[in-house]
């Protein structure tokens, strides 16, 4: 009997000592989630220190695309599984696997056998030799290279015989749900979805907050952020997105504070509100898409002024990346095309011609004193009217 399976390779989880099972269980859970709803029947389970997905009636490209979005996976190996029988059957099974997959192709290969079932009546090197010869005879367009083969044919003799020769790279990282939760400040730009992806890749679950400024920012701009959250959620799993109406706060700052400080003061209020939502939601930090020197509001001075209002950690995974590196990553994760849709951004609408590039914390605090009369009430109202959208 022959079945189709995927052998899931994971790396870092392997070194987690006695907590290893928690990471494996989280990975199994996440794999089940991404396969749920795809065509086919899937069984995901742990077996002998590995994770297997047995599958029937499925579309391989669809399954691989889904597994490529699961953090924690470093390799996806489509496997043919054969029952353990005698040596001749093993040989003909492996040859038929090679013929099905590679008939007419030409490349160098090497067979790598692992014999976990030591009762099998041949040693691994002997099996490698025999199989190599038989494959060459059946597929004369191939050749053997034991030092630098283009393809390695893995034959694992366990409770069953597992044959595979392709390792499709996964995203790496740690499985979602293994590191706590953080609050992503998600704008409609290129950087913040990348930032969410990168922290999510370490196993962190995400909530997100978007500061919306209607009517200056349109419903289409908001929908774009919802779409971006959904793209990030394909990797991280479900995201609770808070849409905070920021218009009155922004107008009040605009009317009351020096215009060249507007962006930084706005950003400080965004951070304060995000932090409140984070604390209420059990998040252990904030995430932004900031990158040093990208724009005036992201000089070291500006970052310091923004950061000064935060008492929980702020994670800025793009901080040392060049714009092109961030763009490359956004293309790879699939958020770029959505990020560049040309809808207005609440920060750009009121932006000063010559914003401060070296704001001091003291100067910001001084300007914010002018807001004393109404700001607490406006922040409270913004939090009360929080619109929650679940994506993913």
Which residues would be at the binding site for ligand ATP (CB under 6 A)? 185-187, 189-192, 209-211, 270, 288-290, 294-295, 297-298, 346-347
CA-closest candidate to residue 251, choices 217, 221, 218, 213 = 213
Please list the alpha-helical segments (H only) found in the chain: 20-35, 60-67, 87-102, 124-138, 191-200, 219-236, 247-256, 262-280, 300-307, 323-333, 336-339, 346-349, 361-369, 375-384
Q: Which residue is nearest to ligand ATP (CB)?
A: 189
Backbone torsion region of residue 334, taken as left when φ is above 0, otherwise alpha when ψ lies between -120 and 50, otherwise beta:
left
Beta bridge partners of 140: none
Residues 6+ apart with CB under 8 A from 16: 22, 23
Q: Which is nearer to Mg ion, 165 or 288 (CB)?
A: 288
Quick check: 338 binds Mg ion (CB under 5 A)? Answer: no
Binding partner of residue 5 among Mg ion, ligand ATP, none, CB under 5 to 8 Å per kind?
Answer: none
Binding partner of residue 211 among ligand ATP, Mg ion, none, CB under 5 to 8 Å per kind?
Answer: ligand ATP
Q: How far is the CB of 187 from Mg ion (least distance, A)?
A: 4
Q: How far is the CB of 185 from ligand ATP (least distance, A)?
A: 3
SS3 107: coil
Beta bridge partners of 315: 287
Q: How far is the CB of 146 from ligand ATP (least distance, A)?
A: 49
Q: Which is nearer to ligand ATP, 110 or 276 (CB)?
A: 276
Q: How far is the CB of 253 from Mg ion (least distance, A)?
A: 17
User: CA–CA separation, 149 vs 322, rounded Å?
Assistant: 36
Binding partner of residue 186 among Mg ion, ligand ATP, none, CB under 5 to 8 Å per kind?
Answer: ligand ATP
Q: Which is nearer to ligand ATP, 73 or 273 (CB)?
A: 273
User: CA–CA separation, 291 vs 190, rounded Å?
Assistant: 12
Q: Residue 347 in contact with residue 266, Cβ under 8 Å? A: yes
* Max CA separation in the chain (angstroms): 87
Q: How far is the CB of 208 from ligand ATP (least distance, A)?
A: 8
- Site pattern 189..228 for Mg ion (x: CB under 5 A): x---------------------------------------
The residue from 113, 128, 165, 187 that contacts Mg ion (CB under 5 A) is: 187
Number of residues that bind Mg ion (CB under 5 A): 2
Q: How far is the CB of 76 from ligand ATP (least distance, A)?
A: 30
Q: How far is the CB of 239 from ligand ATP (least distance, A)?
A: 13
- Chain centroid, CA 54 distance in Å: 24
Binding partner of residue 72 among Mg ion, ligand ATP, none, CB under 5 to 8 Å per kind?
Answer: none
CA-closest candidate to residue 207, choices 249, 247, 244 = 244
User: CA–CA separation, 60 vs 62, rounded Å?
Assistant: 5
Binding partner of residue 24 among ligand ATP, Mg ion, none, CB under 5 to 8 Å per kind?
Answer: none
* Residue ranges binding Mg ion (CB under 5 A): 187, 189
């Amino acid at each position: 009997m022959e079945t189709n399976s995927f052998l899931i390779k994971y790396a870092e989880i392997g070194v987690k000592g006695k907590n290893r099972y928690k990471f494996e269980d989280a990975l199994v859970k996440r794999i089940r989630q991404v396969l749920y709803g795809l065509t086919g029947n899937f069984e995901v389970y742990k077996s002998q220190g590995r994770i297997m997905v047995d599958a029937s009636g499925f579309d391989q490209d669809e399954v691989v695309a889904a597994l490529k979005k699961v953090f924690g996976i470093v390799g996806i190996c489509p496997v043919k599984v054969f029952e353990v029988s005698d040596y001749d059957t093993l040989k003909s099974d492996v040859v038929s696997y090679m013929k099905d997959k590679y008939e007419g192709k030409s490349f160098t290969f090497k067979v790598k056998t692992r014999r976990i079932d030591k009762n099998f009546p041949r040693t691994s090197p002997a099996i490698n030799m025999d199989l190599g010869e038989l494959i060459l005879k059946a597929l004369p367009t191939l050749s053997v290279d034991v030092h630098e083969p283009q393809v390695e044919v893995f034959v694992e003799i366990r409770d069953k015989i597992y044959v595979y020769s392709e390792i499709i790279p996964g995203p790496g990282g740690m499985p979602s749900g293994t590191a706590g939760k953080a609050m992503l400040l998600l704008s409609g730009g290129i950087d913040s979805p990348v930032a969410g992806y990168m922290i999510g890749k370490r196993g962190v679950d995400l909530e997100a907050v978007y500061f919306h400024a209607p009517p200056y920012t349109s419903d289409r701009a908001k929908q774009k952020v919802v779409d971006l959250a959904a793209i990030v959620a394909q990797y991280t799993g479900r995201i609770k997105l808070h849409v905070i109406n920021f218009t009155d706060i922004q107008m009040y700052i605009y009317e009351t504070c020096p215009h060249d400080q507007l962006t930084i003061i706005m950003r400080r209020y965004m951070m304060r509100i995000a932090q409140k939502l984070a604390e209420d939601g059990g998040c252990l930090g904030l995430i932004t898409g900031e990158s040093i020197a990208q724009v005036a509001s992201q000089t070291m001075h500006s970052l310091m002024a923004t950061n000064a209002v935060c008492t929980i950690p702020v994670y800025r995974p793009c901080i040392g990346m060049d714009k092109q590196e961030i763009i490359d990553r956004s293309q790879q994760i699939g958020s770029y095309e959505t990020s560049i849709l040309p809808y207005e951004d609440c920060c750009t609408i009121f932006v000063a011609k010559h914003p401060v590039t070296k704001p001091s914390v003291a100067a910001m605090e001084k300007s914010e004193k002018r807001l004393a009369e109404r700001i607490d009430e406006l922040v409270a109202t913004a939090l009360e009217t929080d619109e929650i959208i679940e994506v993913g």
